[in-house]
Amino acid sequence: MVQRSGRRRGGGWRRWAGRLAWGLPLLALLASVLPVLLLRWVDPPTSAFMLARQFEAWSGGQSDFVLRYRWVDWDQLSPQLPIALVAAEDQRFPEHAGFDFVAIDQALENNARGGRMRGASTISQQVAKNLFLWEQRSWLRKAVEAWFTVLIETLWPKQRILEVYANLAEFGNGVFGAEAAARHFFGKPAAELDATESARLAAVLPSPRRYSVRAPGPFVQRRTVWIREQALQLGGPAYLAECCGVPGSPPAKD
């Protein structure tokens, strides 16, 4: 009898272990899918990068640090800003499903030749990283970033991805989003940014704490001109009309 009771207890633990083996991955899946699905309609009040920047300031004794962030909807952005961001960061944004394999191949070839190190992150990947992840590079973070990128591309329309990116990108030290940047650097709302101002905001994205929108150095000046030229070659705001619509126009189809 004692032995049979022991076998029953052992079988019970095995059943619980089996349930956990199935249940934990399902919980992890739901824990990642639900916030991404919710943020398709709910505007994020903050992001992982904003929280990290605020913590960095507090822990570093920067008592005068002010984090600037103000959300605006798609129709409150200048039509010149989304195309400037795409021209600067991800020119195949309307075409790819989250990963630009052409850019990845080009980056690998360039890096293998010993050229200047370059990445190939898409706007979708940057949204995943800014919203949910930490800044340090690692294979684990890249794997989690890839998973969130798949979720974002699956659950959000392209317009939403670009809208969130424009609102979460850091354009200066503690200055997050197009509205906060437009008011801080140009004294106007994001809806009134012209092509040059939009290109200059996009020009500092590789390193917004190193490069200045207000006092652009030679690199930012050259990159601003390049972004404007690229935006024109792509076709201007109309390039995004099919995938995203143009700010101020009816929403694009999902």
Residue 156, in any domain of the structure: yes
Q: Are 37 and 152 in contact (CB under 8 A)?
A: no
With a cut of 50, list the residues of the chain below it in pLDDT: 1-2, 5-6, 117-118, 250-251
Do 20 and 80 lie in one domain? The reply is no
Predicted confidence at residue 32, as pLDDT, reads: 83
Inside any domain, residue 11: yes
The residue behind tokens 């032995």 is 3
Is residue 207 one of the residues assigned to a domain? Answer: yes
pLDDT tens, residue by residue, 156-179: 999 999 999 999 999 999 999 999
Residue closest to 231 by CA, chosen among 200, 189, 192, 209: 200
Per-residue pLDDT, 164 = 98
Whether 252 maps to a domain, the answer reads: no
27 and 143 co-located in one domain: no
Same domain membership, residue 57 and residue 33: no
Question: Is 113 contained in some domain?
Answer: yes
Sequence-ordered list of residues with C-beta below 8 angstroms from that of 191, at least 6 positions apart, any chain: 72, 76, 77, 78, 247
Q: 142: how many CB neighbours lie within 10 A of its CB?
A: 14
Residues 112 and 140 in one domain: yes
Residue 235: give the domain boundaries.
43-244
Is 191 found in the same domain as 98? yes
Angle, CA of 131, 213 and 183, to the nearest 5°:
70
Give domain status of residue 152, yes or no. Answer: yes
Tokens standing for 218?
């030679």
Do 217 and 120 fall within a single domain? yes
How many domains are there within the chain? 2
